[in-house]
Amino acid sequence: MAQITEILGGDRFRINSFERASRALAELAEDVAAIGPDAKALQRIEGIGEGTARRIAEFLETGRIKDHDELTAKVPSGLLKLLDIQGLGPKKVAVLWKEAGIEDLASLKRKLGGNALADLPGFGRKTVENLRKNLAFIEQAGQRYRLGDALPMAVWIVEQLRPVRGVEQISYAGSLRRGRETIGDIDIVVAFKGRDRAGLIEAFKGLEVVDEVLMSGSTKTSVRTGDGMQVDLRIVEPQQYGAALMYFTGSKEHNVELRERAQKMGMTLNEYALSRVKDEKVVASKTEQEIYKALKLAWIPPELREARAEIALAGKGRLPTLIELADIRSELHTHTTASDGHWSIEELAACAVERGYHTVAITDHSRSQVQANGLSAQRLEKHIEAVRKVAAKLKGRITVLAGSEVDILADGALDYPNSLLKQLDIIVASPHAALSQEPKKATERLLKAIHNPYVTMLGHPTGRLINRREGLSPDMKRVIAAAAERGIALELNANAWRLDVRDSHARMAIEAGVKLSINTDAHGAPDLDQLIFGILTARRAGATAQDVINCMSRQELARWLAATRG
């Protein structure tokens, strides 16, 4: 309200009082909702006057503030976004809007392209140049980061800070702990023993990945890494660790439902503790387990904390036993030097043995994948022989399957004739080209491939690349129904660029009784490490080991593969 009033050229006294109230709220140790919609009590907060207290009470009661609604209606809806750009305050934004007709980031970007701002008061060449730079930055930083980039960064930071004096427990929280495919920022929670937190805060700010310190205080420090990722560090007392970890893990919606449950049980839940209402006595706070238990719930894995049905299930003790990394016993989608991989059949198989897998499938690209050195029919026949040789050599140590990642062509036909497909042990059918096809065509295309009698699984069904390429948008209900009918599996490609199928579609598949296959699509042995991203995504879908064919025993898998042959 302060900002809009200033843009509109309003009264200085009003602007100041709004600003003071805003700071007071931001600095409040507790959630203002805990005080309640009591104007008298709110007015006791330093910096909050009569008018503001009334408005806060209005907000706590109705979720809106009439004066705020009236103010926002007076300016274009995209205008306030300009304030996010470094170097643009309300006064400059007012000039841009009134003198140059700029209403949002897009129109600012257009005008910055030309020389249109040169004549405006206060917009010299240097200012305009900086605006360009800062706009470009927020466009880029406004993006979400891929799980594949954020998770290793968070793990590294946690390991750097764990040995720091006073650190009792430390974990990343937020959307990252919930395993989301993209992450807005990294949240880290530390249980710190003792009073001198400076050493920890300095260690955090001094990490070599830190580019800029955004804010720093004794409970919260925020930094930006060289990659533009924001990392929030929150320090709490050891006895509050469970409550804080839970709160900052979220999701927000899950937290809201938990708080409602606590209230019905005569308790309050916040980032510090679960407490009894009647005497404010702390019921549980040190561990998540204790808090869930006091709420008469089983501990809920973070990946499920999205306010779907997890709280009801946890209440009945019926949460699924989610799949874990160690449940995976085979890798069914790999590439070797025969197409675009970097390792030989034998090298790759040896690495699969090292990981304790009982089966590995060699599935190089098919002939249409020219840029990936896809195998012609003739080369494939030779390749099958080569795989069989390695298989014979490694017999007793690992089962090596001769397979192919066969292209699903734009019309749904497969890239090899059935006479050739018949000779293979396993067939991953995937779309690689024509990925901007309209949804209806994409659906027909995938359905046709599913009905080929030799297909074992549909590989990375949409072909999307996270933050880079949208891929196909087929009707996944129909695709999954067809896969169920045919008895084939749906791949959950674990490569962090792909995560295809995504969590929601994996959940649909499980509910329809379709098996998932979690594969890394390894082009070299290090790629096998991508598995974790697929596991996290599968856990978000509620997958158990029973839902995933890579968790079957050698014999079970062999039987299942034979049975998919239509």
The residues of the shown chain that bind ligand DGT, judged by CB under 6 A, are 174-175, 183-185, 187, 247-248, 250-252, 255-256
Distances (CA, A) of 25 to 30, 53, 413, 435: 9, 11, 62, 49
Minimum distance of Zn ion from residue 407's CB (angstroms): 8
End-to-end CA distance of the chain: 65
Of 107 and 225, which has the nearer Cβ to ligand DGT? 225
Determine, following the binding rule CB under 5 A, whether residue 232 of this chain makes contact with Ca ion: yes
Q: Where are the beta strands (DSSP E) in 325-482?
A: 330-331, 359-365, 399-407, 426-430, 457-458
Q: Is 346 in the site for Ca ion (CB under 5 A)?
A: no
Q: Of residues 174, 341, 431, 474, which one binds Ca ion by CB under 5 A? A: 174
C-alpha 35/C-alpha 40 separation (Å) is 10
Contact (Cβ atoms closer than 8 angstroms) between residue 291 and residue 285: yes
By beta-carbon proximity to Ca ion, the closer residue of 247 and 292 is 247
Per-residue binding letters, 387-426, with Zn ion (x by CB under 5 A):
----------------------------------------
Q: How many CB atoms lie within 10 A of CB 53?
A: 21
Structure token pair of residue 76 = 């274009």
In the complex, minimum distance from the CB of residue 183 to Ca ion, in angstroms, rounded to a whole number: 6
550 interacts with Zn ion by CB under 5 A = no
Q: Quote the least distance from Cβ 378 to Zn ion, whole Å.
A: 22
Q: Which stretch binds Ca ion (CB under 5 A): 26-34, 127-135, 183-191, 482-490?
A: 183-191
| Contact region with Zn ion (CB under 5 A), list: 5-13, 59-67, 349-357, 427-435 | 427-435
For residues 285 and 430, which CB has a smaller minimum distance to Zn ion in the complex?
Answer: 430
Could you tell me if 408 and 446 are in contact, meaning their C-beta atoms sit under 8 angstroms apart?
yes
Q: Does 430 bind Zn ion (CB under 5 A)?
A: yes
Return d(Cα 180, Cα 151) in angstroms, integer.
10
* Nearest alpha-carbon partner for 335 in 526, 521, 527, 530: 521
What is residue 36's three-state secondary structure?
Answer: coil
Q: How many Cα atoms occupy the beta-carbon half-sphere of 367 within 13 Å? A: 12
For the bound state, the minimum distance from the C-beta of residue 459 to Zn ion, rounded and expressed in Å, comes to 6
- Is residue 251 reached through a cis peptide bond, with omega within 30 degrees of 0 on the bond before it? yes
Q: How far is the CB of 449 from Zn ion (least distance, A)?
A: 13
The SS3 of residue 216 is strand
The set of long-range contacts for 9-12, using a CB threshold of 8 Å and a minimum separation of 24, is 9/94
- Output the smallest distance, CB 357 to ligand DGT, in A: 33
Question: Using the rule CB under 5 A, is 187 a contact of Ca ion?
Answer: yes
Beta carbon of residue 447, minimum distance to Zn ion (angstroms, whole number): 19
- Those residues with Cβ within 8 angstroms of residue 309's Cβ, 6 or more apart along the chain or in another chain: none
By a kind-dependent CB cut-off of 5 to 8 A, residue 270 interacts, out of Ca ion, ligand DGT, Zn ion, none, with none
491 binds Ca ion (CB under 5 A): no
Least Å distance between CB 230 and ligand DGT?
8
From the list Ca ion, Zn ion, ligand DGT, none, partner contacted by residue 404 (C-beta under 5 to 8 A by kind): none
Please say which residue, 55 or 367, places its beta carbon nearer to Zn ion: 367
Of 5-13, 135-143, 231-239, 532-540: span binding Ca ion (CB under 5 A): 231-239
Shortest reach from residue 182's CB to ligand DGT, in Å: 7
Residues recorded for the chain: 566
Residue with tokens 């968070």: 154
Contact 425, 381 (CB under 8 A): no
Tokens coding 486:
């045919």
430 binds, among Ca ion, ligand DGT, Zn ion, none (CB under 5 to 8 A by kind): Zn ion
- Number of C-beta neighbours around residue 190 at 10 A: 25
Binding residues vs Zn ion (CB under 5 A): 430
Binding residues vs Ca ion (CB under 5 A): 174-175, 185, 187, 232
